[in-house]
Structures are given as C-alpha cells and as structure tokens.
Structure 1
C-alpha cells in the first residue's frame, strides 16, 4: 500500500475506533479532575518517563529535561516518532502504545483524534494557567470544556517568511498588503531571475506545509464563519470558497513561481534555500523558524529573515497551534507515573520556564517571565500577528482531513484541484460521521 494512503487510512481508522468507544466518555471510574499537582521538587528516584516528539521538536525539551532529572532524580527519555508525526502517533495509540507525554497539536479536532477523554489526563487546575498571558489562557488546548494540553510556546501563525536581501534586490521595498500584491511581488521576483517561493512538495508522504497556501487564503472566510458552516454540513470543501484557493495555489505552481525541484524538495531544503537566498519567500509556520535557528545565529537571522501575515483581502494571520507548541499527558494507569508527568509539566511551565524560553530563544507566554533579548525579530512579528489572527481549519473544524496529502498528490500531477477538494470533503464527512456530528 502507498505510504501516504496507509497513514491516511490509519488516521481515519483510529478515529473511527475512538468514536466506537465513545470519545465523549472518561475511563471507567475516572473524571475530568487530576489527582493533584505535585511540588516541582518532589523526588522521583526510580521513575522513568517517556516523551514523544517529532523531528522538528525532539530537541525542544533538552534543557528542561536535563534540569528536571537533576532536580528530581527521574529519568526522562525523549523518543523521536517518524514523520508524518501525527499519523504515526495515531497509529501507535490505536495499537495501545502510549507515552507519558507527547508533543501534540492542541486543537479540538486533534485532541478528539487521539480520544482525549479516554487517553489523556485532564489538566484541570494547572498551576501555570494563571501565569499565562490572559489572551492565550483559553486560546487552545481545551476539548469539550476540559483542558487537555499545555501550551509551552507561541501558537504558530501561517504567514510568509522572506529573505530581505532577495526582495530588496528585486526592487520590492514593502511587504505585500494582500494576496494580489503577494502575487505581483512573485511576478516581479521571477522577472528579476529569482525563485519567488520555495515549497516542500516532496513525495515522501509528508508535504505538510502545502496546506498553508490554502488556509492563508481562507482567513476572511474563516472570520465569516466558514468552518462553522462546514461543521454543520452547510458548506463543503468542494464549494467555490475552498476550491478557488486550491486553484490559485496550482496556478502559481503552473506559472513557475516555485522551486524547480518542488516535487522532491523537503522541509530541510526549504530552510537552507531561504537562508542562502536561492528562494525569496516561504509560506510556513513557527516550526520552520526553529529550523532556521538551527542553521544561523540571531544576528544573521535578523539581518536576513522577515515575516508577514497574509490573507486574500489583507494581512490577517491564521493561527494553527502545532505539535511543537504544546504537550499532552497520557493516562497510564500508574498513579505515580501520572503524578510525575504532571510534575514535569508544572516544572516546565514553572521553575524551568525562564531557562526554557532562553534556550529556545522564543517569545515568553508569561508576563512575569521575560522574553529573552536574543529572540529574533521575525518571531516577535509572529507573536504580534497572533493578536489579530483567525483560527485555522485545525482549530475551528470538527475534523482535520489530510488536505496536505491531497495537495502533495496535486503537485505530483495525480489530482486536479477539484479532485483534491472531493477527496478532502469525503474524508472530512467520514471523520465527522465517526464522531456522531449531526448532518454527516
């Protein structure tokens, strides 16, 4: 079976299984209240915890884990799960394989996809919530009115990362103010012999960034209730609002606005290309900038890389908390390990948070914890864009179909925009029906 088809089937199957076991029910004898929040200094000698992470988040816990182990005597193993991360995790969970903690996208649809009420510890009464910036406290991580995810960094915003020098060399002195201006900038760059955009369309089954091109164009539609209508079966992915955005994306590809190796290029290629100036712009989210930070120091990044949000009619960003932004704690049935897991979360967002943001060079979520002086300007721009951003499909829709996989197939020449929409709608309807959503 084709690898992409396998992961799609696995994701859908796991959700169907979850629905059959009633995802709205807590485990027998359980409720939505954790046993308590241990002191961060509680000794944990002999306790081993496992944290699942993706390729782009497996180094994120390093400083926190090392300090927590030293302070408590616990052992914490960070295990890298193969990409595509979300599908791989869902497949493992469906077979009963679970960690103590995992990086996870803290949206309702993705919490539902891993059967949160059965598999996850509720984080009710989490001690760090009150310390978090008020506008972010309940932005994400909540499913059916219960908190299941801990936000550790600024939620991702879909937007354009750009090489300042490349734009300047092409005579572009101001960032685009809407989609029309973005396309005009791309045309100007192409005329100047530059590669306007770089896409990671590789046929390895994980062209996950392709969906940002569609979702960015849907910002105003989302503000006007698109996802509520989709959730209620009043509008579909096959309707003009969505199909037009897919066609616009394909038109840019057909016009040669992307890298010549779009069919094979990877996430790693994308960062290198923007940094060395072989491409002018990349449509991406925060985890992409983490890759840039692994390739260059802050001074170089400030000199070379900028960020701006974009939408069809303006510069409305689309926020999509990704798996590198949050953690979930699994139920193991072992009270001591579950308590230790909550203790690690409390330490991470408590005593260990200042060291964490300094190590990650990221914007602090807590007003009383200073954002490090070395945080790159582009990340500050992302955090600023969050204030006026709208929720993505993953945030607002009741299910998260594999839009990116279908777009990847379109890049390979296997699907038309209409076929992409048809297949995504069919999967969305299947996933919504598995949850018992009315109208499906």
Structure 2
C-alpha cells in the first residue's frame, strides 16, 4: 500500500521522459481551451480515466451521472501498482489517457512533464467557487494550473485513540511536539504503547520526522533546500531524524516496529493497543473499512502537531486530484475539460455525498456522515505548511532510509547524507 514513488523509480522515469520526449508535442505552456457547457451533448465520444487501485471507485457515480447527462462513454482503467511509475512509463512512450488521477505536487507534475503532456486548467469555471484557503494550495507548476483538486488534501498529523486518552486522564492534545513526547513517556509509564509505527511497509516512517520541520518550513526550509542553501544534512533535519531514533530507542514505539504493517497500525489504534500514530488521510480510509462513523467518532481523534504548536503538513496524493492530458484530439480534450467542469460543478454535491467526503466548495456542505476526525483534518489545512512532497523540487527515499535506520542498517547521519545525495540526483535529472 506504499503511496510514494521511490527515488530510483522516479529517476528512471524522469530520464525516460527526457529521452523519449525531447521537446516533442505541443508547445509548452500552451493556453487552456474553452470550457464547454457541462451537460453539452457528447454522443459517440469515448473518454478514458486512469486510476490506481485505491482511487478507481472514486469517480464511479459522478462518471455515471456525466454519461447520462451528455451521452459520452467514460472508461475507468485501473493501472497496476506502482501507480505513478507505471503511468510515467506509459506516458513517456506516448500512451495517453484523457484524464488520470495524479499527485498534484510540483515535483510530480514535473515528473510527468506537465507543460508538454497536460492541458492547462487555467480559467476553470469552478476555481472561484473553491474554499479560498484551498484554491491555490496545490496543482500548480511554474504559475500554471494543471490539476483539479476534487477531495481534501492529505495532512500529516497525529491520529489518537480517544478512549485511551480518557482512561489515562488526557483531556486535551499536547500543545507542541515536546509535550507530545512527554505524553508518550507518561503513557509508557502507565503500560500503554504510546506510538505505533509500520516499519515493515516503510512509507509512513517519514511522518514523525516531517512534522518536526513545520516551523522551519514556515521559514522557507524547502525553498532553501531547492536553492542549495539547506540540505538534508542541515541541523534542523538531522536533529529531527535523531529525535525520531531517540523516541524509538526510548521504547515509545511498538516492539515489532521493524516488521509491523499498515494494517497492523490500524488494528493497533482501533483496539487501543497503541495510543497514537503519525499518519495521513489514507490511514483513516483504512479505519473506515473497519468501523462505521459512529464508532470512529467515539474512538478516533486527530490533531496536527509541530515544534511550536498545532501546525500540520499538507501532502496531496493521487486520489485527491485529476489531470487532463493533451492527446492531440481536440474533441476528446474538450470533453475531458467538460467532465471536470461537470464533476466540480453541478455534479459536486452528489459526488461528496456519495463518497462521504469533505466538500471543497464554499457553497456545498459536507455530508452529515463525514467522521469528525476527517473534518478536523480538513479544518487544519488553512494553517498547514507544505510537506517535502508538496514543496521540494524532488522527493528522495527519506522513508526507505529511515526504515533502514529502524532496522539498524543506517545511522541518522547516513540517512541524512544518503537522502541528500538522492535529492541532488533527482533534482539534476528534472533539470532543477
């Protein structure tokens, strides 16, 4: 269930894209096309949407409504994991869908060569209807909008078991990261596993490190990293890695940290075996498969955390957004824009109701059945800062290196230096 492309895979895809598409195709940054009426007739037009295994059901109902309204035929193709790598390989060889779910961060838009491969979504009719705090939070590369945000972006923070907190007299979330660690020590002393990590599946190991960077990110850490003025070996990053290792060595995590899985993590939090996890929205999706909204509201809470307070980190993933490809077929390109316009226009209220997800539009209320933890995640967005995936020009294998550290195969210093080397290689391959 790993959500993030490895640095090796991303580097290969970037090189493949560069080799196979040296300036070919339409001129970069071509202007957007017109936006058709959302229900204009499209009899005989066939569209294809690429989706991952965890996003292929997301468009089902809205696509069905669009087909009934327009006469178009829309096929949803499930692309096998690793999703991002599979798509980049196919796109680089000229195999293009009309639309695809895609992580709308600058680095991943760069990886897919957005200026030549994707339609510009500038001037989209739904943009002004989005919550102002979310309007420009993601989906933009070098000043051009390429992705349509359809669901609330993921946020890195702390999911906790409300019942465990109550049983141990914890009446409010800790005020900052230092107090969070102190809370972990209190719970450990009272016989509770404070934090649960999924070191076997690896991809979440980076969250406990990234939340410690929130204050530095406010001061421009990722921008400085992109400019070579900071690095993964800088004190702020290295100290965060060392703190994470220190928490593990202190026994604040599960004993099976090296082998535990994503599924184990969800079970541990729901059952109260562990009090807290550092995670993102996809984790809550797992919990929703285990319990109904009433049980989740009784059991699971969420709070963002940072060194100085409650600041989350935004990390949009591929299930949050769609991109429209420049296929060279003007009719299909216009129809793809029309589907996005329908989805985010008159079809949006039914979409969020069907998905029981948070609404991004000021004029559309979130459904009554959305769990409170997800509403709290969404409410944290306006004060959140960008994650490595959102703001760094390249995303190295920090999580893999951290998992190796948990297994005793790397020191914090080696994690930092290896991650920095990977970052430099990826940035160079991307032309940054």
Q: TM-score range by the shorter chain?
A: over 0.9
Tell me which residue corresponds to 2:111: 113
Looking at structure 2, the residues matched to 49 and 264 of structure 1 have their Cα atoms a distance apart, in angstroms, of 42
Tell me which residue corresponds to 2:425: 430
Deviations 1:11-66 (A, max 9, x none): 1022234456789x683356522332222223334433332323332322222122
User: What aligned pairs does 1:323-362 form with structure 2 within 5 A after superposition?
Assistant: 323-362=318-357
User: What aligned pairs does 1:32-111 form with structure 2 within 5 A after superposition?
Assistant: 32-111=30-109
Deviations 1:349-402 (A, max 9, x none): 011100111122222111111122222211221122112111112222222222
Please tell me whether the aligned partners of residues 13 and 85 of structure 2 are also in contact (alpha carbons under 8 angstroms).
no
Please tell me whether the aligned partners of residues 26 and 32 of structure 1 are also in contact (alpha carbons under 8 angstroms).
no
3-state SS, counterpart of residue 49 of structure 1: strand
2:416 paired with 1:418: no
2:12 paired with 1:13: yes
What's the RMSD between the two structures over aligned residues?
A: 2.4
User: What aligned pairs does 1:53-202 form with structure 2 within 5 A after superposition?
Assistant: 53-202=51-200
Note closer, same or farther for the CA distance 1:265–1:39 as it changes in structure 2 (3 Å cut): farther
Looking at structure 1, the residues matched to 85 and 188 of structure 2 have their Cα atoms a distance apart, in angstroms, of 36
Deviation at 1:123?
A: 0.8
Deviations 1:91-147 (A, max 9, x none): 443344433222222111111111111111111211110111122212211111111
Q: Give 1:406's match in structure 2, choosing from 401, 405, 413.
A: 401
Note closer, same or farther for the CA distance 1:94–1:409 as it changes in structure 2 (3 Å cut): farther
Note closer, same or farther for the CA distance 1:62–1:193 as it changes in structure 2 (3 Å cut): farther
Deviation at 1:176?
A: 1.1
- TM-score, normalised by the number of residues in structure 2: 0.92
Please tell me whether the aligned partners of residues 231 and 397 of structure 1 are also in contact (alpha carbons under 8 angstroms).
yes
Note closer, same or farther for the CA distance 1:371–1:381 as it changes in structure 2 (3 Å cut): same
Which stretch shifts more, 122-131 or 78-87?
78-87
Deviation at 1:165?
A: 0.3
Consecutive unaligned residues of structure 2, counting only runs of 5 or more, are none
Which stretch shifts more, 333-342 or 40-49?
40-49
Looking at structure 1, the residues matched to 127 and 157 of structure 2 have their Cα atoms a distance apart, in angstroms, of 27
Looking at structure 2, the residues matched to 267 and 248 of structure 1 have their Cα atoms a distance apart, in angstroms, of 22
Looking at structure 2, the residues matched to 153 and 400 of structure 1 have their Cα atoms a distance apart, in angstroms, of 23
2:287 paired with 1:292: yes
Deviations 1:240-278 (A, max 9, x none): 111111121122222332233333333233223222222
Looking at structure 2, the residues matched to 194 and 141 of structure 1 have their Cα atoms a distance apart, in angstroms, of 41
